[in-house]
Structure 1
Amino acid sequence: MRDLIDWIKKTGLENIIWATDLDLTVLDSHKNPTAVSAPAGVEENFQKINELTNDRFYIITGRDMAYVDKLFPNTSFRSSCEYHNMVRFDAKGSVHEPNPRPKWSLIDKDLEELTKKHPGLTFRSKPFMRSMHYTHAASLASDPLAKDAVAKKIQTLLDFHEASTGQKLENIDGGSVFDLAPFGSSKKSAYEAILELTSAKENGLVPIYFGDSPGDIPAAKVVRDNGGIFVSVGNDKRLQPYADFELKNPSECRDLIKEVASWSKKEPKPATEPKAP
């Protein structure tokens, strides 16, 4: 962690675009995905990092906006939710929806039936997505063949949705969850939008992104292609080729956030050197 701290100090928070995933990156796993909560101090530390980066703190998550606002009830953080299908980036806090909402009623019953066949598999409904968390499903978490079989059944249902509505959906590998969303949904789009927004105001900024799963790789690539760094959290080896720094777990990530949030804000340099009296 110290090498990452040194990098942040050398770069300067005032020059950084700070974006982060939430679950298993900053937040710990929970058997019930709806029961996840933000540990004490996280919201306040995010507020401080937003201040230190001059309002350039962003959340990028597969979760829905209501989940983010429940975690952080006192702050409307700039957030890209459901793989950039619900977006709140402007100062007014308005939410933008880039894609049409899927007709989930066509396949929800079948998805729920599939969920019941695997104890521990948890089904979550969101406006643009359906998520099936398998971290605590013993029949899937440690059996790649069983996981692949479920993925194929899911794809059959997604194909049916496309044939019925014309809207193509996809199954995004979230590392511990099947994330079903409009085709093309990606955290890549989220970070590209952030870069477009920030570069319109200031040049020479350095992007950073924290993530834990393969679903974060598209954003990691964007960050690295634009001179920034990707910080992987946890032990998913699929992220290692893209990671500039690694943190062991969400607890270590929170420790980093807490330390950075304790720093003082640098005074801006004058536009011109003051004249001698």
Structure 2
Amino acid sequence: MDQKSDQTTGSLQALDGLPGDVNGLAVFLDIDGTLLDIADTPDGISVPLGLPAALARLAARLGGALALVTGRSVATVDRLFPGLSVVINGLHGAEWRDGAGRVFGTGLTDEFSAAKHRLREQAARWPGVIFEDKGAAFAAHYRLAPASEGQVRHLMRALSESVGDGWKLQEGKAVVELRPRGRDKGDALMQTMGHEAFAGRLPLAIGDDVTDEAMFAAANRLGGLSVRVGTDRRDTLAQGRVATPADVRAWIERVAR
């Protein structure tokens, strides 16, 4: 077996080495690149058949201690997983929905709305650049237009300066986003761990992108576990690694039985 296969198998064995019924864990899952395969456009993702039901079973096994932590909005997550009653930390934690369905979010300003409108108009003039409206955040995706990366970054920096201190730039995989300041996925994990279903458990954080590093750090500080999805050798705070979202989905199927 080659080195890459050894690393992947070892990570899966580490996950399998968790309590078989996942008692004592609180699970925090990123969505894009972790639960779902990355797509060329934000709307191009596909939710595999059976995944929502598997997540519901996992939530039941965990006594409700399952949270989705994502850069997408709560409303978008609800469209992806209709009827799934779990905690959702949207917009990197700036939006939060509890298990009872109550949503807490960030207010908008005129300056922010104007910046969003400007990006929407400019992105339409750049072939392949995708504008994504997340409500209290917005993003420009250049996966299909890598030559436009410099222009996208320049405009997003200018828009960030125009909206004031309430928002900050966040870079990801071929995307630049303007999102509410003062919250990250680590903050989201720490806040959620204080709620009844999560209290007294050890966090397991699974993610794939630079935005998930704050979540890994928080899980590690609490004595929990952190697992990164991906085969590149980028430095990470995660303790373990799996190769693909398919590995994460297979693990969910096993532990949710």
Return the TM-score normalized by structure 1. 0.81
What stretches of structure 1 of length at least 5 have no aligned partner? 141-145, 263-277
Deviations 1:145-195 (A, max 9, x none): x44x53233111111121xxxx43211122332121122231122101112
What RMSD, in angstroms, separates the aligned Cα atoms of the two structures?
2.1
Change (3 A) 1:222 1:102: farther
In 1, Cα distance between the equivalents of 2:92 and 2:46? 20
Structure 2 counterpart of 1:209, one-letter code:
A
In 1, Cα distance between the equivalents of 2:109 and 2:172? 19
> What corresponds to 2:155 in structure 1?
153
Structure 1 counterpart of 2:108, one-letter code:
R
> What corresponds to 1:129 in structure 2?
137
Deviations 1:229-260 (A, max 9, x none): 1111123543x431211111112221111122
> What corresponds to 1:245 in structure 2?
240
> What corresponds to 1:275 in structure 2?
none
In 1, Cα distance between the equivalents of 2:192 and 2:183? 15
Q: CA deviation at 1:198?
A: 4.4
> What corresponds to 1:105 in structure 2?
113
> What corresponds to 2:3 in structure 1?
none
Q: Is the 8 A contact 2:59 2:66 kept in 1?
A: yes
Q: Is the 8 A contact 1:213 1:236 kept in 2?
A: no
Q: Does 1:196 align with 2:194?
A: yes
* SS of aligned partner of 2:19: helix
In 2, Cα distance between the equivalents of 1:31 and 1:175? 11
> What corresponds to 1:71 in structure 2?
80
> What corresponds to 1:41 in structure 2?
50
> What corresponds to 1:233 in structure 2?
229
Q: Does 1:9 align with 2:19?
A: yes
User: How many percent of aligned residue pairs carry the same amino acid?
Assistant: 24
Q: CA deviation at 1:102?
A: 4.0
Q: CA deviation at 1:67?
A: 1.3
Change (3 A) 1:33 1:109: same
Q: Does 1:185 align with 2:183?
A: yes
* SS of aligned partner of 1:178: strand
> What corresponds to 1:50 in structure 2?
59
What stretches of structure 2 of length at least 5 have no aligned partner? 1-10
Q: CA deviation at 1:95?
A: 0.6
Q: CA deviation at 1:62?
A: 0.6
* Matched pairs, number: 246
Deviations 1:116-154 (A, max 9, x none): 4543221111211002122222325xxxxx44x532331
In 1, Cα distance between the equivalents of 2:58 and 2:44? 25
In 1, Cα distance between the equivalents of 2:248 and 2:124? 34
Larger mean Cα displacement after TM superposition, 113-122 or 215-224: 113-122
Q: CA deviation at 1:81?
A: 0.5
Q: Is the 8 A contact 1:15 1:206 kept in 2?
A: yes
Q: Is the 8 A contact 1:17 1:208 kept in 2?
A: yes
In 1, Cα distance between the equivalents of 2:22 and 2:62? 5
Aligned equivalent of 2:216, options 208, 220, 229: 220
Q: CA deviation at 1:45?
A: 0.8
Q: Is the 8 A contact 2:69 2:90 kept in 1?
A: yes
Structure 2 counterpart of 1:154, one-letter code:
M
Q: Is the 8 A contact 2:56 2:85 kept in 1?
A: no
Structure 2 counterpart of 1:88, one-letter code:
R
Return the TM-score normalized by structure 2. 0.87
* SS of aligned partner of 1:8: coil
Deviations 1:9-40 (A, max 9, x none): 27x51100001000111111223312323101
Q: CA deviation at 1:83?
A: 1.5
Q: Is the 8 A contact 2:34 2:208 kept in 1?
A: yes
Change (3 A) 1:257 1:125: same
* SS of aligned partner of 1:241: coil
